């Protein structure tokens, strides 16, 4: 990844400026990587990366990653500058200037902003100047890239109203990276003023380099415990380490624990100190990809973040979910929906302890999982949607004010159906 630089060149593809801020975990970053990789087939993509990329995680080489002075979040969600020479206010001021400079140097055909204004309110001081600059002619297409479920908030009505007003004022469309049969925006977004821009469902986004292959016969007697970035994984990692001797004794399964790049150093050191003397426990901090680990496992134990759960479900590994402690509980909501479809078992985090975890792993081994049937073609669909929106813009129109019955916006009657759970071996349906 290059330090911040104004990048140009003679590439004939239209430019696309993609903003992503990952503050605590890495889910937003990994989804943005997958989107940018797909978009680079059509666009000259520059990803403005607002957080530090952890060691062991490399972006695809198909687009430029431009490092802004990094800002991160503490576990209490307060922000901190990771640039030792700048305090937080100075970092924000510099970032706002650099972002607008990069926009004016690239003059992109498309500006994509991840999550904002539906989240990242604290970053409005650097994003509103970008959105104002994007009003300058020639105006680019401006879209928001959004995950499936929004977090709940104490000030939800006020927050949602502000988000709706900003979206209507500055954005041309909203791309929701979800299957609308499973999650729809209006279920977790309730402004007083309705959105006047099209809401376009792309399907879920998965990494292009995470092909699922093999069969259930290739699985080994191992439980894979993964906690995403690891920033919020201490409770699950500690409980899993405590449960591992009982799991080994009662099921014969060993445990491979992936602690994550952002696990706290004291937690990592404590786990390392215990693992050499604990038979059947293999501890690693980062793996190149989670899918191969899951394809070889008999059981997965994990949180329920967007990226992790898609990899769990796509590999078909029997899964126990322990939602992470997260502001707004979007993980709990996602886990409950998947449990209702018969796709996972859920251990509520308030019941998490070694004995309960060991018991649930035994239950998962005999769990008759339903068929995973969600649309995961969201990266490719996002490229097609942006191309369609660009054609409208180039023809002299703008997406604002489109009817909800416009064919590029309205979900078909099949898309509106909830995915059904099925007995293993039965055929499913797809929403695209």
Q: Percent of the chain, pLDDT > 90?
A: 66
Q: Which candidate, 265, 225, 219, 230, places its Cα nearest to that of 242?
A: 225
Give 75-100 pLDDT, tens digit per residue: 677 888 888 888 999 999 999 999 99
Q: Is residue 372 part of a domain?
A: no
Instruction: Report the 10 Å Cβ neighbour count for 235.
Output: 16
The order of strands in the sheet holding 64-67 is 2-3, 64-67, 44-49, 15-20, 110-114, 141-146, 173-176, 199-201
Instruction: Report the 10 Å Cβ neighbour count for 221.
Output: 13
Q: Which candidate, 2, 129, 139, 20, places its Cα nearest to that of 64?
A: 2
CA distance to 57, 297, 310, 382, 387, per residue, from 285 (Å):
12, 18, 21, 32, 39
Strand bridging mode 319-321 / 345-346: parallel
**Average predicted confidence (pLDDT) for the chain:** 86
Specify the range with the lowest mean pLDDT, choosing from 3-7, 69-73, 343-347, 395-399: 3-7
Q: What are phi and psi of 411, to 5 degrees?
A: -75, 145
Q: Is residue 303 part of a domain?
A: yes
CA distance to 215, 237, 238, 258, 259, per residue, from 226 (Å):
21, 8, 12, 5, 6
Specify the range with the lowest mean pLDDT, choosing from 115-124, 187-196, 406-415: 406-415
User: Which residue in the block uniquely carries the two structure tokens 């977004």?
Assistant: 189
Give 287-303 pLDDT, tens digit per residue: 988 999 999 999 999 99
pLDDT confidence bin for 60, thresholds 50/70/90: confident
| Pairwise CA distance, residues 261 & 259, whole Å | 7
Burial class (CB in 10 A: 0-12, 13-18, 19+), 286: middle
pLDDT at 402: 38
Burial class (CB in 10 A: 0-12, 13-18, 19+), 61: exposed
Domain count of the fold of the chain:
2
Query: 353 with 393, same domain?
Result: no
DSSP class of residue 412 equals P
Q: Which candidate, 120, 175, 178, 118, places its Cα nearest to that of 148?
A: 178
pLDDT score of 381 more than 90: yes
Contacts (Cβ under 8 Å, ≥6 apart) of 47: 18, 19, 20, 32, 33, 36, 59, 63, 64, 65, 66
Query: 171 with 240, same domain?
Result: no
Query: 231 with 280, same domain?
Result: yes
pLDDT confidence bin for 143, thresholds 50/70/90: very high
Q: Is residue 160 part of a domain?
A: yes
Query: 268 with 396, same domain?
Result: no
Q: Is residue 319 part of a domain?
A: yes
pLDDT score of 8 more than 70: no
Query: 19 with 146, same domain?
Result: yes
Specify the range with the lowest mean pLDDT, choosing from 90-104, 111-125, 241-255, 403-417: 403-417
pLDDT score of 151 more than 90: no
Give 187-245 pLDDT, tens digit per residue: 999 999 999 999 999 999 998 776 776 555 678 999 999 998 777 889 999 999 999 99
pLDDT at 2: 45
pLDDT confidence bin for 370, thresholds 50/70/90: confident
Answer with the one of 365, 395, 424 that is the final residue of a domain.
365
Q: What are phi and psi of 277, to 5 degrees?
A: -95, 10
pLDDT score of 43 more than 70: yes
Query: 15 with 138, same domain?
Result: yes
| Pairwise CA distance, residues 322 & 272, whole Å | 22
Query: 276 with 220, same domain?
Result: yes
- Per DSSP, the residues of 346-370 read E--GGG-SHHHHHHHHHHHHT----
Cβ atoms of 177 and 203 closer than 8 Å = yes
| Pairwise CA distance, residues 149 & 323, whole Å | 14
pLDDT confidence bin for 393, thresholds 50/70/90: confident
pLDDT at 392: 87
3-state secondary structure of 169: helix
Q: Is residue 100 part of a domain?
A: yes
Q: What are phi and psi of 53, to 5 degrees?
A: -80, 125
Q: Is residue 371 part of a domain?
A: no
| Pairwise CA distance, residues 170 & 197, whole Å | 10
Query: 298 with 400, same domain?
Result: no
Exposure on the CB side of residue 219, measured as CA atoms within 13 A: 21
Torsion of CA 371, 373, 379, 383, to 10 degrees: 160
Bond before 76 cis per omega within 30 degrees = no
Specify the range with the lowest mean pLDDT, choosing from 102-106, 119-123, 285-289, 366-370: 366-370
3-state secondary structure of 193: coil
Query: 225 with 329, same domain?
Result: yes
pLDDT score of 388 more than 90: yes
| Pairwise CA distance, residues 45 & 13, whole Å | 9
What range defines the domain where residue 165 resides? 2-205+377-416
| Pairwise CA distance, residues 62 & 48, whole Å | 14
Q: Is residue 316 part of a domain?
A: yes
What's 266's domain CATH number? Answer: 3.40.50.2000
Query: 225 with 200, same domain?
Result: no
Bond before 138 cis per omega within 30 degrees = yes
What's 95's domain CATH number? Answer: 3.40.50.11380
- pTM (two decimals): 0.87
Query: 169 with 299, same domain?
Result: no
pLDDT score of 4 more than 70: no
Query: 19 with 150, same domain?
Result: yes
Strand bridging mode 2-3 / 64-67: parallel
Q: What is the mean pLDDT of residues 91-112?
A: 96
Q: Is residue 210 part of a domain?
A: no
């Amino acid at each position: 990844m290059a330090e911040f630089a104004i990048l140009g060149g003679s590439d004939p593809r239209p430019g696309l400026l993609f903003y992503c801020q990952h503050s605590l975990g890495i889910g937003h970053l990994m989804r943005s990587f997958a989107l940018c990789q797909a978009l680079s087939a059509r666009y000259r993509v520059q990803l403005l990366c607002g957080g530090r990329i952890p060691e062991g995680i490399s972006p695809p080489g198909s687009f430029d990653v431009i490092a802004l002075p990094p800002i991160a979040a503490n576990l209490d969600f307060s922000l901190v500058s990771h640039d030792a020479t700048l305090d937080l206010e100075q970092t924000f001021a510099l970032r706002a200037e650099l972002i607008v400079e990069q926009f004016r140097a690239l003059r992109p055909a498309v500006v994509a902003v991840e999550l904002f204004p539906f989240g990242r309110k604290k970053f409005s001081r650097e994003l509103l100047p970008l959105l104002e600059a994007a009003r300058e002619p020639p105006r680019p297409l401006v879209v928001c890239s959004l995950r499936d479920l929004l977090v709940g908030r104490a000030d939800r009505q006020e927050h949602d109203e502000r988000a709706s007003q900003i979206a209507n004022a500055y954005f041309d469309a909203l791309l929701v990276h979800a299957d609308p049969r499973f999650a729809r925006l209006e279920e977790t977004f309730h402004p007083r003023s309705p959105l006047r821009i099209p809401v376009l469902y792309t399907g879920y986004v998965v990494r292009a380099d995470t092909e699922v292959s093999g069969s259930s016969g290739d699985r080994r007697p191992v439980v894979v415990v993964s906690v995403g970035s690891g920033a919020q994984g201490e409770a699950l990692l500690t409980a899993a380490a405590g449960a591992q001797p009982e799991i080994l004794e009662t099921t014969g399964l060993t445990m491979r624990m992936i602690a994550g790049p952002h696990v706290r150093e004291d937690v990592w050191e404590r786990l390392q100190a215990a693992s050499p003397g604990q038979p059947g426990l293999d501890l690693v901090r980062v793996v190149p990809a989670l899918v191969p680990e899951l394809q070889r496992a008999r059981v997965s134990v994990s949180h329920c973040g967007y990226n992790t759960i898609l990899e769990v479900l796509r590999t078909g590994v029997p899964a126990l979910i322990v939602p992470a402690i997260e502001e707004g509980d979007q993980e709990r909501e996602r886990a409950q929906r998947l449990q209702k479809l018969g796709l996972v078992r859920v251990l509520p985090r308030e019941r998490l302890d070694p004995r309960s975890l060991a018991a649930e792993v035994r239950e998962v081994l005999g769990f008759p999982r339903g068929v995973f049937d969600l649309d995961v073609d969201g990266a490719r669909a996002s490229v097609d949607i942006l191309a369609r929106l660009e054609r409208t813009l180039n023809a002299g129109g703008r997406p604002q004010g489109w009817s909800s019955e416009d064919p590029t916006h309205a979900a078909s009657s099949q898309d509106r159906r909830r995915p059904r759970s099925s007995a293993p071996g039965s055929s499913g349906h797809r929403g695209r």
